[in-house]
Amino acid sequence: MSEKSGLDKTEQKTPTKRNDRKRPGTPKETQTPAKSAPKAGRRGTRQEANPSPDEPKTPRGGGGTLLLALLALLAAAAAGAGGWYVWQQQQSTTARIAATESELQASITELQVSVDRRISRQSEEISQASNEGDRRLEARTRELQQAIIEIRSRLGQDRTGWALSEVEHLLRIANHRVRLARDVQGAEVALREADQRLVAVGDPAFLPVREAISKELQALRNTGGVDREHAALRLTGLIDTVDALPVAGAYKAQQGDAPGQAEAPRAPENVSNWKEFLGAVWEDIRSLVSIRRHGEETNGPTPLLAPEERYFLHQNLRLKLETARLALLEGNPQIYTSSLAEVEQWLNRYFLEEAAATRGALETVKEMQGVKVRPELPDISESLRMLQRVRRQLGEEDRQTASEQEPTTGESLSGEQPEATP
């Protein structure tokens, strides 16, 4: 409708402009009126609005204007109705879009809440499952630890237990060497080895044991222990030199003569009669026999054989030195002292004091007499008792820990049984 009204207005304006350019009274308009009439009929009020100057003006265009106004009004009404309709459609579409958006937002919110609820529930389930798994794992771990402790206690396979057993054994050896063998050096070696084992263990609970071992080592050093092996070796060396000791006033036998063999008596060269001959024989016989009473010449003991018997004298001296050596090794001071005293007496009585071998033997014997065969030894059993006490305390603590863990393990295992049943 609006388009048509616009076209009519354009048509009305166009003839007016054309008529303005034409001059009135032209031959075409005057001579051919019939041709202009149809044009006027086709174009409506175009020529009527602009009549020629020669024709009179008449109100012939009033109906067309009204029609045009009506048409314009209808077009405006149609345009308004169309705009109102479009506006209504837009409002309806906007409302539908808003409603759809609200529905979508509500759905999204509901979905978000549902997802959050599910995530929270799943998180709680996962947390509960994780905590339950941790409890089960902890229970299993305690159970395994308890089993390991029981196995170690039954079999004694742990390294610390073996090391402590070695330490206890070494301390027992040290006490044995001091009490029975009176071996100070051997006891010191055993104590030092025990201390090194405790250092390797590295447990501060055994520091009091190490302190006791240190005190016992110092006590053994303060005794000035006897080196029995060295003293015994000196006596052995003296025994080996006995055969080289010269006997005082001994008969020098010829090579091949037996020990104690005397020269056969010879008849006197100048014998006048048989009485003198018998007297000479008697004197020779008396010289072959020597009678001594025990204790006549000395207050001390005498050898079993006569001093002239060089071989047996050396053997007796060797036996006395062997007796002194054995008494030294056994720790018998009485036999040791008496044996060395007899050796000294025999050396002074039956051997040449001027000989260097005799003087050397006497000096060695005097030095050996100054050796303390059985000195007072300290008590080194404190470290052993302390070690046993500490081990006993540690064992009680382990048993107490194991007993405390057993109920917890039992409860956890009992709690797992219902879950294992489908």
pLDDT at position 61 is: 54
Which position has the higher pLDDT, 219 or 294? 219
Which of 17-21, 65-69, 340-344 is the least confident region?
Answer: 17-21
State how far the Cα of 306 lies from the Cα of 320, in Å rounded to an integer. Answer: 16
Q: What is the pLDDT of residue 249?
A: 61
pLDDT value of position 14? 43
d(C-alpha 188, C-alpha 214), whole Å:
10
CATH of domain 226-249+299-374: 1.20.1440
Burial 90-121 (b: 16+ CB within 10 A, else e): eeeeeeeeeeeeeeeeeeeeeeeeeeeeeeee
Contact 244/355 with Cβ under 8 angstroms? Answer: no
Query: What is the reported pLDDT for 188?
Result: 93
Percent of the chain whose pLDDT exceeds 70: 63
Kindly state the DSSP code that residue 55 receives in the 8-state scheme: S
CA distances from 40 to 5, 35, 47, 307, 326 (A): 19, 9, 6, 199, 176
pLDDT tens digits for 38-90?
A: 444 444 444 444 444 445 454 555 677 888 888 888 888 888 888 888 888 88
Sign, CA dihedral 52-54-59-60, equals negative
Mean pLDDT, residues 160-182 taken together: 90
Distance CA 371, CA 344 (A): 15
The pLDDT score that the predictor gives to residue 375 is 78
Taking the whole predicted model, whether its pTM rises above 0.85 is answered as: no
Range 359-383 average pLDDT = 88
Contacts of 347 (CB under 8 A, 6+ apart): 245, 317, 358, 361, 362, 365
Integer Cα distance of 374 and 184 in angstroms: 11
104 pLDDT higher than 50: yes
Rounded average pLDDT over 215-223: 91
Are 52 and 24 within 8 A, CB to CB? yes
User: Which neighbouring-strand residues pair with 247?
Assistant: 351
Q: Dump pLDDT digits (tens) for 245-289.
A: 888 765 444 334 444 444 444 544 554 566 676 677 676 666 665
Q: What is the pLDDT of residue 42?
A: 44
Token pair, residue 325, equals 């050596």
| Greater pLDDT, 42 or 384 | 384
Closest CA to 49 of 96, 17, 83: 17
Eight-class DSSP state of 56: P
- How would you classify residue 226: left for phi > 0, otherwise alpha for psi between -120 and 50, otherwise beta? beta
Task: Check residue 18 and give its pLDDT.
Answer: 43
154 versus 112: which is more confidently predicted? 112
Q: What is the 3-state secondary structure (H, E, C) of 311-372?
A: HHHHHHHHHHHHHHHHHHHHCCHHHHHHHHHHHHHHHHHHECCCCHHHHHHHHHHHHHHCCC
Check whether 126 has a pLDDT greater than 80.
yes
pLDDT of residue 244 exceeding 70: yes
For residue 340, count CB atoms less than 10 angstroms from its CB and return exposed for 0-12, middle for 13-18, buried for 19 or more: buried
Q: Would you state the pLDDT for residue 181?
A: 80
